[in-house]
Structure 1
Amino acid sequence: MNILVVDDEIEYRQVLKIILDKRGYDTDTAANGEEALRMIKKKNYDLILTDLLMDKMDGVELLKRVKKINENIQVIIITGYGTIENAVEAIKKGAYNYFVKSHAPGILLKDIKKIKEMLLSKKKDKHLNEGFILDSKSEKFKECIHIAKKAADSNANILILGESGVGKEVIANYIHVCSSREKEKFMPINCSAFAESLLESELFGHEKGAFTGAIERRIGKLESVKGGTLFLDEVGDISLNTQVKLLRVLENRRIERIGSNNSIDVNFGLISATNKNISDEIFRGSFREDFFYRISTITIEIPPLRERREDIINLIDFFLNKSKLKYNKEIDHVEDGVMNFLRDYHYPGNIRELKNIIEMLVVLSEGGYVLEKYLPKDKNENRHSLQKINIIKPLKEMRNEIEAEYIKKVLDICENNISKAARELKISRRQLFNKVTEYNLK
């Protein structure tokens, strides 16, 4: 569980951090509300422990702003005896509880444990909601689920292969929930979202003063996962240097924080995933063969949605119902043209693209009707243009042409703003930059 301690008294926030770190929580600290808000926008926190009385921005104001960013983040207000009334008022505004500084830390730790159990319960509910995605008519996908279930019973390193949007993280989460590590953390890391040095700090942690900007010790994911499952998404984007360091960790299950010579024992299950052809990456020299064999004791290849078309109707119904609940919309009728499009479209973005299209159509629905006029025009035009093709090309070449054309269109809409386009495409900035380079898009 990720916790952020916000207090303008350095001694108090450091003491809280030590107490929480010893109990296996991933804890960061901030000296004031503004610093906390910047950190919250960069990292997903489950719980904020904030002092009530601080300069510039007090705990109640921070609570309001945190809830605007993400209403699911829990907040506990830390207060002195003289400000308990204000703390109670904060609970009415959405705080989980308050803690009096002079009380025993055990009282606070009980509340934190309750929040952790609540989050685990929600996580299980979320997994059950995703369960229908795993209920398939496709023999290919059924075989994937069968292998995933058997792999979960082992302690083997698992590599999940598949195109973007096929649901690699859903399968990884399923493996974790089915494994003996279910009660511990499932910790995903998008490896393509970090520069090399930042990824190493994220994985291994660092000591205070290890490099410029390292103002305090940071516990890395390999250490804080503590018996849980580490999910390395986009593992194909990890640099060769970091691959060597991870290979050593997988061999001896020990790490050293950046800036330290002390070895620390680590315990975790490893699931990795990539949309790259690892054999090609090994041939090009950008991926180590020994690292590949170490992370892929068991390999699961998820088929793209176009190869499991028998599941599309059920997936449409599933996402339609989820979207109705999510956006509080009543849907009584879906126009035939919409269903024909959703059934026949080739989905280069796979399940993620199907989900996004349905969410958009539900949001734009009128009077309970999902209307054909709101179908994405560029996708609809592509569908009809494919009917006119009279020159047969290799599938990979055609896929690349369509992807390049689509990326160029998105870049035009976003006025060539790479960051904005990456957000719209639901990929990392680095992935988009690589695609722009690969397709020589100007």
Structure 2
Amino acid sequence: MNSQFKILVVDDEIEYQEVYKMILEDEGYIVDTASSGKKALEKLEREYFNLVLADLIMEGMNGIDLLKEIKKKDGETEVIIVTGYGSIESAVEAIKQGAFSYFIKDHDPEELILEIKKVRDIFKLKFENKTLKEENKEKGYLIETNSLKFKEVLEVAAKAAKSDSSIFITGESGVGKEIIARYIHNLSLREGKFVPVNCQALSENLLESELFGHEKGSFTGAIEKRIGRFEEANGGTLFLDEIGEMPISIQIKLLRALDTKIIERIGSNRPIEVDLRFITATNKDMQESIKKGDFRQDLYFRINTIPIRIPPLRERREDLPMFIDFFLNKYEKETKKRILKVEDEVMNFLLSYDYPGNIRELRNIIERLIVLSDDGVIRKKYLPEYQKNSRYSSLTLKEYRELVEKDYIEKTLLEFELDKDLASDFLGISKRQLYNKISEYDINLVK
């Protein structure tokens, strides 16, 4: 954590700058210095620091004036005031103005180190709390497997986790690409957080702001400064799902960021260094996208250092009993229903169905069966209608999957009275993806 924590030492005496810099760098912190309040503010405009260690008495702008300017411009940066014995009252005043604490010159440097650790721990706690909230949503997915194909995927993922190489995950919708991305992050040595971004769910302008951040007033609606996902993932992993949907204009900016490890917020030309692991995923045919000019070939080569293909659920049927049991238990708890029996026809269907929507579809089917169950029994009558339909027997696999997907989308839309927000949430896809499917399958339903 120390290696990602940046401190700016501000003192008009070079000797003190050098002493503090030496002590704090020995503790593993990233340290820079400034000889005046004015120079410190200039550096803070160009670069983000977690903590400013400022001398109270300096020529020109003193420590308290510097503190006020920092708090006015950026409430996230903490300040510790350094003072002599005769100015403790002023140091106490600084705390009232928003300083984290103060340190008395000539005291044991260990006291200063302990104060800085408190600041560091607060920053760590803030992003860990946010991470826990996000990762709790992802709990309930399984990584264990009885499938040789999936075991090979996990072996490659485990080896890849030990490096910082870019990883490109491919596979059909619903196979669990984000699960594998998180698995890689958790096995890595990176102490930062896992930050996922769905490139298809956001418009071009919103996606650029989401990734790179923006300065206050940089565009209409930018009422405050925003830290982008690149900065948020600093020290950790940035996962870009559905990267095949990323607009060309952002692909160019992304390629530059990957090559230089430097980004700029929208509305700023201040370079910001980032250190992160980069994982991308898609269910698209990227070679076809490159041929059509929808995706840059140079970016494809840059992100495709270690390719990982996740097999669809129909290619790992050995795992179906385990997944079925897991989701039954999961939704029993969530719906507060006790399931005593699953009819044989239901279990036969769950074990033999091809699941064109993969794990996501299996999860949705089981959730539906439990919600509709009566008296603790999951009955055949609540199975999706297509499981009994003989019209699939003469179709190719592609035709079969498309027909099943169309039926499932139509039934979901009807269940939610054509409310596309609720339907897309239930299906586990974005609203934009749902509209694309409605258009692709010529779905025309009326209330």
**Shared fold (TM-score, shorter chain, > 0.5):** yes
Equivalent AA in structure 2 for residue 249 of structure 1:
A
Residues in 2 aligned to 1:392 and 1:351: alpha-carbon distance in whole angstroms: 23
2: CA distance between counterparts of 1:336 and 1:287? 48
More off after superposition, 404-413 vs 115-124: 115-124
Match of 2:386 in 1: 382
Asked if the contact 2:392–2:400 (Cα under 8 Å) also holds between the matched residues in 1, the reply is no
Q: Give CA-to-partner distance per residue, 1:320-364, whole Å, 9 cap, x none.
A: 222223333333322222211211222121111111222232333
Shift of residue 437, structure 1, vs aligned partner: 3.0
Aligned partner (choices 293, 309, 320) of residue 317 of structure 2? 309
Which ranges of structure 2 fall in alignment gaps of 5 or more residues?
A: 1-67, 80-94, 102-117
Across the two proteins, how many residue pairs are aligned to each other? 346
Supply the distance in 2 between the matched residues of 1:120 and 1:215 (Cα, whole angstroms): 25
CA distance in 2, matches of 1:212, 1:123: 29
Matched with 1:391 is: 394
Q: Aligned match of 1:427 in 426, 429, 441?
A: 429
Superposed CA RMSD in Å reads 3.1
Residue 224 of structure 2 is aligned to residue 216 of structure 1: yes
Structure 2 counterpart SS, 1:272: strand
Is residue 20 from structure 1 mapped to residue 76 from structure 2 by the alignment?
yes
Matches of 2:136 and 2:411, distance apart in 1: 38
In the alignment, which residue of structure 2 is the partner of 1:197?
205
Alignment partner of 1:207 is 2:209:
no
Q: Distance in 1 between matches of 2:313 and 2:350?
A: 12
Distance in 1 between residues matched to 2:292 and 2:231, nearest whole Å: 32
Q: Deviations over 1:100-131 (max 9, x none)?
A: 9888647898667556556667888888864x
Does the 8 A contact of 2:168 with 2:305 survive in 1? yes
Q: Secondary structure at the match of 2:249?
A: helix
Alpha carbons of 1:124 and 1:422: their partners in 2 closer, same or farther (altered >3 Å)? closer
Provide the residue aligned with 1:90 in structure 2: none
Measured in 1, the distance between the counterparts of 2:413 and 2:135 equals 38
Aligned position for 2:260: 252
Q: Contact conserved, 1:233 with 1:272, CA < 8 A, in 2?
A: yes
Deviations 1:156-187 (A, max 9, x none): 11111111111111111000000111x21100
* Residue 46 (structure 1) aligns with: none
Task: Specify whether residues 326 and 146 from structure 1 end up closer, same or farther in structure 2 by C-alpha distance, changes over 3 A only.
Answer: same
Aligned CA distance change for structure 1 residues 202 and 119 (closer, same or farther; 3 Å): closer
1:338 equivalent in alignment to 2:341: no
Look up the match of 1:372.
380
Query: Following TM superposition, by how much is the alpha carbon of 1:396 offset from its aligned partner in structure 2, in angstroms?
Result: 2.1
Q: How does 1:71-150 map to 2 (within 5 A)?
A: 105=100, 113-114=124-125, 117=128, 130=141, 133-150=142-159
Contact persistence 2:208–2:250 (CA under 8 A): yes
For residues 118 and 260 of structure 1, do their structure 2 counterparts lie closer, same or farther at Cα, with a shift above 3 Å needed? closer
Question: What is the identity, as a one-letter code, of the residue corresponding to 1:180?
Answer: L
For structure 1, which segment, 240-249 or 207-216, has the greater mean C-alpha deviation from structure 2 after superposition?
A: 207-216
Partner of 1:50: none
Q: Which moved more, 1:185-194 or 1:396-405?
A: 396-405
The code of the aligned residue for 1:238 comes to M
Distance 1:17 1:123, change over 3 A: farther
- Alpha-carbon separation, structure 1, partners of 2:417 and 2:337: 32
Larger radius of gyration: 2
1:283/1:258 Cα in 2 relative to 1: closer, same or farther (>3 Å)?
same
Distance 1:324 1:417 in 2: 26
Which residue matches 1:153?
162
Structure 1 CA distance, aligned partners of 2:371 and 2:435?
A: 30
**In the alignment, which residue of structure 1 is the partner of 2:438?**
436
Q: Deviations over 1:131-166 (max 9, x none)?
A: xx2211111111111111111011111111111111
Tell whether the 8 Å contact from 1:203 to 1:222 is kept in structure 2 after alignment.
Answer: yes
Residues 356-365 or 161-170, more deviating? 356-365
1:402-413 mapped onto 2 (5 Å cutoff) = 402-413=404-415
Q: Distance in 1 between matches of 2:187 and 2:209?
A: 30
Per-residue CA deviations over 1:167-223 (Å, capped at 9, x if unaligned) read 111111000000111x21100011111100110011111111111111121111112
* TM-score between the two structures when normalised by the length of structure 1: 0.70
CA distance in 1, matches of 2:78, 2:149: 45
Does the 8 A contact of 2:364 with 2:427 survive in 1? no
Structure-1 separation of matches of 2:315 and 2:301: 27
Task: Verify the 8 A CA contact 2:170 2:281 in the aligned structure 1.
Answer: yes
Find the aligned partners of 1:170 and 1:17 in 2 and give their Cα distance: 38
1:124 and 1:17 map into 2 onto residues whose CA distance is 31
Structure 1 position 286 matched with structure 2 position 294: yes
TM-score when normalising by structure 2: 0.69
Whether 2:300 is the aligned partner of 1:297: answer no
Q: Does structure 2 conserve the Cα–Cα contact (< 8 Å) formed by 1:152 and 1:176?
A: yes
Q: Is the Cα contact below 8 Å between 1:127 and 1:174 reproduced in 2?
A: no
Residue 245 (structure 1) shift: 0.8
Counterparts of 1:177-192 in structure 2, within 5 Å, are: 177-181=186-190, 183-192=191-200
